[in-house]
Amino acid sequence: MRWYGRYALSYRDLEEMMAERGLSVDHTTIYRWVRHYAPELDRRVQWCRNRNSGSWYVDET
């Protein structure tokens, strides 16, 4: 789930990566996990997004 959200991978790419690690996971199952858990992960990282004002400055030193 984290790899799909972070990197430009397809569900079939993730299925293949899991198979390399000895896990048998179908790409449809990964799709269902993303649909189920993505809203919850988005809700949990809201505090991170709200802390940043959107602007920042760099000092010359």
pLDDT digits (tens, 9 = 90+) for 18-54: 899 999 999 899 889 888 988 888 888 777 666 656 6
Domain-embedded: residue 56: no
Sign of the dihedral defined by the CA atoms of residues 24, 39, 45, 57, in that order: positive
Whether residue 58 lies inside any domain: the answer is: no
Count other C-beta atoms under 10 Å from residue 30's C-beta: 21
H-state helical runs in the chain? 2-6, 11-20, 27-44, 46-51
**Number of domains, the chain:** 1
* Residue-number span of the structural domain to which 9 is assigned: 2-47
pLDDT for the residue 22: 94
- The pLDDT score that the predictor gives to residue 13 is 87
Instruction: Check pLDDT > 60 for residue 61.
Output: no
The pLDDT of residue 52: 59
Largest separation between any pair of C-alpha atoms in the chain: 53
- pTM listed for this prediction: 0.57
Q: How confident is the model at residue 8 (pLDDT cuts 50, 70, 90)?
A: confident
Per the domain annotation, does 57 fall within a domain? no
Residue 59 lies inside a defined structural domain of this protein: no
Q: Is residue 6 one of the residues assigned to a domain?
A: yes
